[in-house]
Chain A
């Protein structure tokens, strides 16, 4: 079982960092939240929509950036964004405005007329983010969003997340502890499919008896408690 007995919520105006070692179940959890995978038991709600009864309503409310940013390499960036916008029922001027907005927000202007396979990893990631944002979703699910970014792009992305936080619930998974410390209001630590911790970093460190509020120390402390090697 990839994920077992995990329960949490993310509220509007909140950025939650999802941390765990490789194979911990982070991506599986995000795939379930995005409706790509069906949970074998339990309930997932996004806003007022239940994933079991109305997955399309859930998909309308989420912007999802999967890990490795799978995109159609042969498509031109502009066509891809227009396709995703169309799938979200945007048409005419609203569609044009949405595309202009995400092109500006995510900085994909330099590659807008290129085919996706011609874009660098960093630009691909930005295109993926732009398509996740195009319908102005109230919930953002980002799986390893800074993968392929250079340090300047990472800093820009952190600023962007802070801007996007307004009225949005953002859940992002990452291996990069500095990203979580820099932008997260709350941290979820997962390992072997089980949620080990859920709370603000200072609170969790207090609970764990750590003098410094360091996610790295907290992570090592929690994961070593259940006897995982190689962390």
Chain B
């Protein structure tokens, strides 16, 4: 032993950066990440191109409108291994006995997933270049759309990681996160709202779910080019809630 002076602890930023870097390297060390990105971009872009050539409109709204439905599957596929694999492999024991706070680990893992998601979404930028070259594209609306896509993904990643922290089984994590994503998405779909409202017209449950729970109205404001305070409050509070729940879940396994 060299000396008895306690070493200084890592600051919050350094600790989060350390975990984020490890997690991000883990994403890119696996071929699955590249397959994931390729399939996501192929599906999202092919659906857009179809609409683009049929409607001949120089904007990206149809790409952004389809995004929530794609993310119902793609984000849970990203997050399912996040904590469930740590539980299954036992590496969580090593991770939680390093001199880091559990909140730093939760945020570090989350930011790595968010960075990977942002890189995948950035893979669609050639569409923007194409639109700008083809005609007068509304750059402001496109930028707002990308901001919305980031917030939407950030929200899905937060509850995906929370669900993954509850189980050892990646398939269970995937299915539960996809169900939750479906709930948050379809509860704002006009047809679903209409059906639920029709079941008990006096309660207007469908409308309440759409305005209070669903992510769609918040996200669609970005797609229309509006960056509203209400949407920002919705996304930040929901992300904060699920990250906090993930940390609480980690505390549970210590008992």
Contact = CB atoms under 8 A, between A and B. Distances in A.
Name the residue among A59, A64, A72, A138 with the largest chain B CB count within 10 angstroms. A72
Given A74-B29, A87-B98, A89-B8, A37 B89 contact: no
Interface in A85-117: 86-90
A97 to B, nearest CB: 10
Interface in B77-101: 89-94, 96-101
Name the residue among B4, B7, B100 with the largest chain A CB count within 10 angstroms. B7
Contacts of B39: none
Interface residues of B, number: 29
Given A37-B254, A89-B9, A72 B91 contact: yes
Interface in A34-75: 34-38, 40, 56-57, 59-62, 64, 66, 68, 70-75
A219 B22 CA distance: 44
Contacts of B10: 86-87, 89
A84 B6 CA distance: 17
Interface string A122-139: 000000000100011110
Contacts of B4: 138
Given A70-B90, A87-B100, A89-B7, A166 B1 contact: yes
Interface in B27-42: 29-30
Contacts of A57: 6, 99
A212 interface: no
Query: Binding site of A, secondary structure by majority: helix, strand, loop or mixed?
Result: loop
Contacts of B7: 60, 88-90, 135
A88 B97 CA distance: 11
B147 interface: no
A79 interface: yes
Contacts of A34: 93, 97
Contacts of A70: 89-94
Given A56-B9, A73-B89, A74-B30, A86 B18 contact: yes
Contacts of B26: 72, 74-75
Contacts of B90: 66, 68, 70
A167 interface: yes
A76 to B, nearest CB: 9
A31 interface: yes
Interface string B228-255: 0000000000000000000000000011
B25 interface: yes
B94 A60 contact: no
Nearest to A80: B22
Contacts of A35: 96-97
A62 to B, nearest CB: 8
A168 interface: yes
A59 B98 contact: yes
A69 B25 CA distance: 21
23 contacts: A35-B96, A36-B93, A36-B97, A37-B254, A37-B255, A56-B101, A59-B98, A60-B6, A62-B97, A66-B93, A68-B90, A70-B90, A70-B94, A74-B29, A75-B25, A83-B22, A87-B10, A89-B10, A89-B99, A131-B94, A135-B7, A166-B1, A168-B1
Given A66-B97, A75-B22, 17 more contacts: A36-B96, A36-B97, A40-B255, A56-B100, A59-B98, A60-B99, A61-B6, A66-B90, A66-B93, A70-B89, A71-B91, A75-B25, A83-B18, A89-B10, A135-B7, A136-B1, A138-B4
List the 7 closest pairs (A to B, CB-CB), nearest first. Answer: A70-B90, A59-B99, A167-B1, A87-B98, A60-B99, A34-B97, A70-B91
Interface of A: 31, 34-38, 40, 56-57, 59-62, 64, 66, 68, 70-75, 79, 83-84, 86-90, 131, 135-138, 166-168
